[in-house]
Structure 1
Amino acid sequence: MAELRAVLFDFSGTLFRLDEDDGWFAGMDGVDEAVQAELMDRLTHPTGPGVQMTGPAYQAWLNRDLKPHLHREAYLHVLTVSGLPARHAEALYERVIDPASWTPYPDTVQVLDGLRADGIPTAVVSNIAWDIRDAFDAAGTGADDYVLSFEAGVMKPDPRIFQIALDRLGVSAEETLMVGDSDENDGAAAELGCSFALVDPLPTSERPTGLLDALREWGLAL
């Protein structure tokens, strides 16, 4: 294996997480803890909507991370079909796309800052339809580049999105590690020759050193 010279990271469930906040559901009658948990799962599920969909709605879901308006349409459909009144669905959706709602994992700052200090460039490669850079700014850290599906026009697991990141960082796949929480989406970087480290998208309070541990297994001790 070539020496690792760069690291790519997924965003949701890897560097940051949309941790459940009971306050988001205040005033929503009939939304108990079980329903809240189900709704949060549907909002953060990487592969499926979890509800029945018409043809047009399903197409919006499949392409939601390429266009902001499709993202909004898809998730509002999921929330309203799940039983939320439209006004509550709108309010909850606005929380989802608010960078302030996203919590960095306890070791995110240490990892990104540590890699930069060691001269190892990083990029965030994310299927997402809104700009996440403010979340990093609020955390006081950041990557060297961001390859976001709605800007790049391509989504994981399409290898082209990883190639964009490699080209921007000026590194080869063989000397790059991809870190993510999805074998299907993030693991597709291996098709280009990248190494891959899988992390568990646990609540942030339950995964204090997941990123550090993943990097250590590949010889990157910070």
Structure 2
Amino acid sequence: MTIEAVLFDFSGTLFRLEHDPSWLAGITDHRGDPLDIEAQAELMRRMTAPVTLTVDLDDEHLHAWHHRDLDPDLHRKVYLEVLRQSGISRVEQAKALYDKLVDPAEWTPYPDTGEVLRKLSASGIRVGVLSNIAFDIRPAFSARGLDTYVDEFVLSYEIGAIKPRPEAFRTALDRLGVAPERTLMVGDSAEADGGATQLGCAFALVDPLPTATRTDGLLTALREHSVL
């Protein structure tokens, strides 16, 4: 079946929130000690893990966790708690780190993101970005001139549905005007993004490695599905 549209996840697929040491300058744990390298890496993982819950939450914060990508206020609430439980006890420090997480300018595109989007657009293949997210990621694309190659941005907090719920994928497919069997979903989570297969879409899994390491993961995924 010919692929007429490609849906991409955002975090860990097209872009990645890279570890910038400057963010953690002056950040201390509950004892007032600077975070070591391992603690810094674990902190970044907890900030960007798409599915896995990394701390123990009370009922109030657990509700916020399960609905975080539907409501920006709940997203902020639960991630500040995650940071607190990760050793960032000073509220002003946690808020500063959280602001980095939700700032589109801080996200780095994978090396082949631009090439892939341009090639798909030139080939007449419809492109959608379907993301479980609680902030507007469009500026990350427009700042690099990549928004012109994306036909639809379908963001969970705007549509009231998260992957892998079928309605999230249906909304994206309806907006693109393409049948699921003619659509490829590309993402870094078999659990969330792989839900597209329930509707009949093809699925390609990419590894959310650092951008310096995964230089052609998107190109490889599309070529394996005979899209490019």
What TM-score do the two structures reach when normalised by structure 2? 0.95
| Partner amino acid, structure 2, of 1:9 | F
Confirm whether residue 105 of structure 1 aligns to residue 126 of structure 2: no
Unaligned ranges ≥5, structure 2: 29-33
- What secondary structure, in the 3-state scheme, does the structure 1 residue paired with 2:87 have? coil
| Partner amino acid, structure 2, of 1:57 | H
| Partner amino acid, structure 1, of 2:4 | R
In structure 2, C-alpha distance between the alignment counterparts of 1:195 and 1:81, rounded to whole Å: 38
- Specify the alignment match of 1:11 in structure 2: 10
- Specify the alignment match of 1:161 in structure 2: 168
Task: Tell me the CA shift for residue 48 of structure 1.
Answer: 2.4
Identify which range, 122-131 or 134-143, moves more after superposition.
Answer: 134-143
In structure 2, C-alpha distance between the alignment counterparts of 1:139 and 1:108, rounded to whole Å: 11
- What secondary structure, in the 3-state scheme, does the structure 2 residue paired with 1:4 have? coil
1:122 equivalent among 120, 124, 127: 127
CA deviations 1:36-90 (Å, max 9, x no partner) are 1111010011112311110111110110000000000010000011111111100
1:55 equivalent among 40, 53, 59: 59
8 A contact 1:179–1:196 mirrored in 2: yes
- Specify the alignment match of 1:216 in structure 2: 223
In structure 1, C-alpha distance between the alignment counterparts of 2:189 and 2:37, rounded to whole Å: 26
Runs of 4+ in structure 1 displaced over 3 angstroms? none
Task: Tell me the CA shift for residue 31 of structure 1.
Answer: 1.3
- Specify the alignment match of 1:201 in structure 2: 208
- Specify the alignment match of 2:139 in structure 1: 134
- Specify the alignment match of 2:41 in structure 1: 37
- Specify the alignment match of 2:70 in structure 1: 66
What TM-score do the two structures reach when normalised by structure 1? 0.98
In structure 1, C-alpha distance between the alignment counterparts of 2:107 and 2:141, rounded to whole Å: 10
- Specify the alignment match of 1:20 in structure 2: 19
- What secondary structure, in the 3-state scheme, does the structure 1 residue paired with 2:204 have? strand
Unaligned ranges ≥5, structure 1: none
In structure 2, C-alpha distance between the alignment counterparts of 1:6 and 1:151, rounded to whole Å: 21
| Partner amino acid, structure 2, of 1:37 | A
- What secondary structure, in the 3-state scheme, does the structure 1 residue paired with 2:143 have? helix
In structure 1, C-alpha distance between the alignment counterparts of 2:187 and 2:86, rounded to whole Å: 28
| Partner amino acid, structure 2, of 1:35 | A
- What secondary structure, in the 3-state scheme, does the structure 2 residue paired with 1:197 have? strand
